[in-house]
Amino acid sequence: MNMINPLELIQGVADRLFVNGQWVKPTSQNSLEVISPANEDVLFTYHEASTADIDLAVAAARDAFDNGEWPRLSPEERSKYLTKVADLLRERMPDLAKAWTVQVGAPIGLTQKLVGQQPQLFDYYADLAKTYPFEEERTRPDGNRTMVLREAVGVVAAITPWNAPMVLLCYKVAAALAAGCTIVAKPSPETPLEAMIMAECIEQAGLPKGVFNLVPAGREVGDYLIRHDGIDKVSFTGSTAAGKHIASVCGEKLTRFNLELGGKSAALFLEDADFAAALPSLMVYSMPITGQVCFSLTRIIVPESRKDEFIDMYVAAVANIKVGDPQDPTTLMGPLTMKRQLDRVQNYIESGKKQGANLACGGGVPANLNKGYYIEPTVFTDVTTDMAIAQEEIFGPVVSVITYKDLDDAVAKTNDTNYGLSGAIYTQDAELGYQVAKRIKSGNLSINGFVVDVTMPFGGFKQSGIGREGGVEGLDAYVEVKAIHLTS
């Protein structure tokens, strides 16, 4: 197995910011380390952007928006640039998969399958820009016309987490560019590589200078960015705690914001569900990327009458998951991404045991993996909805099995969470599944499987967020609506 060298993926721009169309040295001396989740070695170090660098990046994006050509190009012209970026990203898919695997610990077999969504998002918004109603004529009751315009909202601060760094950045950047916005992107300090690849592709595609700026940095510098007077919109994906803080900061100035936050999604099995048919999707989506995905199906809600049948099947399958080196193509589950994630997950496992849940499998560090942030895939049964493991986002491979008595109890238990991001309903009666889905307070639901489709709206009810990404709604997030009433 050839080991991945992360610095070979980014052609020497590792210690550079991309500001105003140039790769520049950060002015800060503050050095950040990217640690391998698989063996705890330092993969590489780089200097984070300083607040002075943020000022420069915001000024460049501001100038490109206020005075530059980008928002004034026709949607068709912007669309051509987006298509070029998509083509360049497609060529870099092997690098993007490796970057994801080496920084996050997601298995290479999985990242190679998933990276196609990244150019797909650029293709999708390139197409949508050509038909989106940027300028729409309507007739008023008095017979006169009103032009309804959808104008780019302005300079966007795009802030992304570490678990799926590139696809989450593509949702924001592709839609914001299609709308005519300019961007200052701040990726998570633990995973800067993909954003650097994106900046390289945007540079090669020839977008005007200042339209896309990249400033990898930590939380404090990010906080400076969201408070910046030059920012018109904050588009944030990350934890609910940080999202609440960002909403309050934006609220002071009425800076526009979108929040994609945490989740505690459920797989709800109705009485008639075919467990065996459901197992493949459950195995992929109950613990994807070692459970570090916002839409993971971390609560499994099953009928009391069929509890043993379900647990026997699911626990046997989970106990068979091959945990190991994420660069090995036969690995199904890699490590957690960082030490603080391992500590967090172990604390929740302890809390589950203390609160009386039954540890059906896992719970420890795999015996043969004593370096790296590995944890066994873990299933708790006899979980009640008041337990912390049933309520809080663990962000690790820890699933709670919860039972119900009847359909109303099932719906109540599924909705008994502060989150509302995703979910799945399994039943042999598709119409019943649809009716039950309508009763679940969640932004995304799949019936008999699990669908992730970037061309459809994605986002949360309740504390899982505000706004939507993906689909037409993802472009709506980057426009202001203006009505111009004509009188003749």
Task: Give contact residues for ligand NAD (rule: CB under 6 A).
Answer: 159-164, 168, 186, 188-189, 218-219, 222-223, 226, 237-239, 242, 245-246, 260-263, 294, 393, 395, 421, 460, 465
Give the torsion through C-alpha atoms of 394, 286, 294, 382, to 10 deg: -40
Instruction: Encode 375-396 in three state secondary structure.
Output: CCCEEEECCCCCCHHHHCCCCC
Nearer Cβ to ligand NAD, position 68 or 189? 189
- Minimal distance, residue 97 CB to ligand NAD, in Å: 18
Nearer Cβ to ligand NAD, position 180 or 216? 216
- Minimal distance, residue 462 CB to ligand NAD, in Å: 12
Closest listed residue to residue 152, CA positions, set 477, 470, 485, 484: 477
Catalytic one of 194, 260, 393, 469: 260
Nearer Cβ to ligand NAD, position 159 or 196? 159
- Minimal distance, residue 224 CB to ligand NAD, in Å: 8
Give the DSSP letter string of 302-313: EEGGGHHHHHHH
- Rounded CA separation 355/345 (Å): 15
- Minimal distance, residue 344 CB to ligand NAD, in Å: 10
Enter the DSSP assignment of 263.
-
- Rounded CA separation 184/442 (Å): 30
Nearer Cβ to ligand NAD, position 122 or 395? 395
Rg of the Cα trace of the chain?
Answer: 23
Catalytic one of 181, 201, 294, 361: 294
User: Do the Cβ atoms of 108 and 327 come closer than 8 Å?
Assistant: yes
- Minimal distance, residue 251 CB to ligand NAD, in Å: 14
Name the token pair of 467. 């706004």
Give the torsion through C-alpha atoms of 350, 354, 359, 365, to 10 deg: 20
- Rounded CA separation 453/378 (Å): 28
Residue type for position 365: V
Question: Is position 294 annotated as part of the catalytic site?
Answer: yes
CB atoms within 10 A of CB 462: 18
- Rounded CA separation 117/96 (Å): 11
Closest listed residue to residue 233, CA positions, set 458, 52, 478, 69: 478
- Minimal distance, residue 159 CB to ligand NAD, in Å: 5
- Minimal distance, residue 465 CB to ligand NAD, in Å: 6
User: Roughly how many angstroms between the first and final C-alpha of the chain, as a whole number?
Assistant: 72
Name the token pair of 292. 């570090």
Pair type for strands 446-447 and 358-361: unpaired
- Minimal distance, residue 8 CB to ligand NAD, in Å: 24
CB atoms within 10 A of CB 208: 14
Region of 276 please: left (phi>0), alpha (psi -120 to 50) or beta. Answer: alpha
Name the token pair of 436. 């039950």
Active site residues: 260, 294
